[in-house]
Structure 1
Amino acid sequence: MNSSEELPLADSSRVVLRRSVRRFALWGLLIYGVLVLVVVFWPRHVDEAVAPALGSFFGWLHDLGVPEFINYQALEFSANVLMFVPLGFFLACLFWRRWYLAIPLLCCLSVGVELLQAGLLPDRTPSGSDVLANSLGGLLGALIQGIRFQRGLRRAKAS
């Protein structure tokens, strides 16, 4: 069998792989997206019940000498970053070759979420730092998939 006869099989397996990745990403986005929507549109702050305990915990840490910048706000910011990493990853998987399109889309999504919170949920506190954290998380998730995609292209070209 010469190389031209092997090419359709290689192309066929790439199509199957792309479909599998997109199916995985679509299901991941749907399931995880619903969970994120529940969190961001919960009528009250989702950490309301544990906020006093967390405040005490960070006070205790600070008494032990842990730097003051490690605090509740840093935890909340980090949680917002982490919450959007999977969204960035799944969206980038759906966009495949144009994985980078997930980045501005997630930034717009984050702004939209904060605007809806401001307009519809009086007990929630929308903020620019949430937009920044969510956007950074989406960026990280998309970059993870982008790097994986680029490495896959290099491996395919090398073989």
Structure 2
Amino acid sequence: MGAITLDRRWWVRALAVYTVFLAVVLLSPGSGAQSSSVTSFVDVAHALGISPELATQARGEFICNALILMPVSALGSMIWPRTTWRDWTAWAFVIASSVELAQGLFLPARSATMVDVVANTLGGLLGALVVAALRWCGGLDKLDHR
């Protein structure tokens, strides 16, 4: 498998589109779509034979919360390669804390929890680590910084 080479502008556009999507999802007044996503995730886990004791609603929500922030740090790592996984973990914590604070203060139908902050921060770490691992293995070439 060859190395991935894409123009930096592509990564910037992808991050901008994903950021808008994320803002709409995380700052919407209700969490109905997210709840159904977690339920679908748990249903798939059960269909794959994962026991109901392991594939719970709470675990599904934690995993979905981690996965939702992974693209931010992964795309950001592609755009700003000098930013380390530590930096992205800190940024993920700041972003997650800000979102939860906004949800708690301005969106009464949403629940702001520290578990979501932890899950989102973990997702930020994992996204940056995936890109770092791909770079280390030679799976990603340097970006074309046009």
Q: TM-score, normalised by structure 1?
A: 0.69
Which structure has the greater CA radius of gyration? 1
Q: What is residue 80 of structure 1 aligned with on the other side?
A: 65
Q: What is residue 133 of structure 1 aligned with on the other side?
A: 119
> In the alignment, is the contact (CA less than 8 A) between 1:77 and 1:130 conserved in 2?
yes
> In the alignment, is the contact (CA less than 8 A) between 1:95 and 1:102 conserved in 2?
no
| Partner SS, residue 102 of structure 1 | helix
Per-residue deviation, 1:66: 2.4
Q: What is residue 89 of structure 1 aligned with on the other side?
A: 74
Q: Quick one: which amino acid aligns to residue 28 of structure 1?
A: A
Q: Quick one: which amino acid aligns to residue 151 of structure 1?
A: C
| Partner SS, residue 93 of structure 1 | helix
Please say if 1:26 is aligned against 2:21.
no
Q: What is residue 45 of structure 1 aligned with on the other side?
A: 31
Q: TM-score, normalised by structure 2?
A: 0.75
Q: What is residue 91 of structure 2 aligned with on the other side?
A: 105
Alignment CA distance shift 1:97-1:152 (3 Å): farther
Per-residue deviation, 1:28: 1.3
Please say if 1:66 is aligned against 2:51.
yes
Deviation string, structure 1 residues 20-51 (Cα, Å, up to 9, x no partner): 2x322211110111111111001011347748
> In the alignment, is the contact (CA less than 8 A) between 1:84 and 1:134 conserved in 2?
yes
Q: Quick one: which amino acid aligns to residue 94 of structure 2?
A: C
1:118 alignment partner, one of 104, 112, 117: 104
* Structure number with higher helix proportion: 1
**What are structure 2's unaligned runs of at least 5 residues?**
none
Deviation string, structure 1 residues 35-84 (Cα, Å, up to 9, x no partner): 11111001011347748xx49x86xx6xx992423211111111111111
Deviation string, structure 1 residues 135-156 (Cα, Å, up to 9, x no partner): 1111111111112233349x99
Question: Structure 1 CA distance, aligned partners of 2:89 and 2:132?
Answer: 11
Q: Quick one: which amino acid aligns to residue 66 of structure 2?
A: V
Structure 1 vs Structure 2 CA RMSD: 3.0
Q: Mean Cα displacement is larger for which, 65-74 or 75-84?
A: 65-74
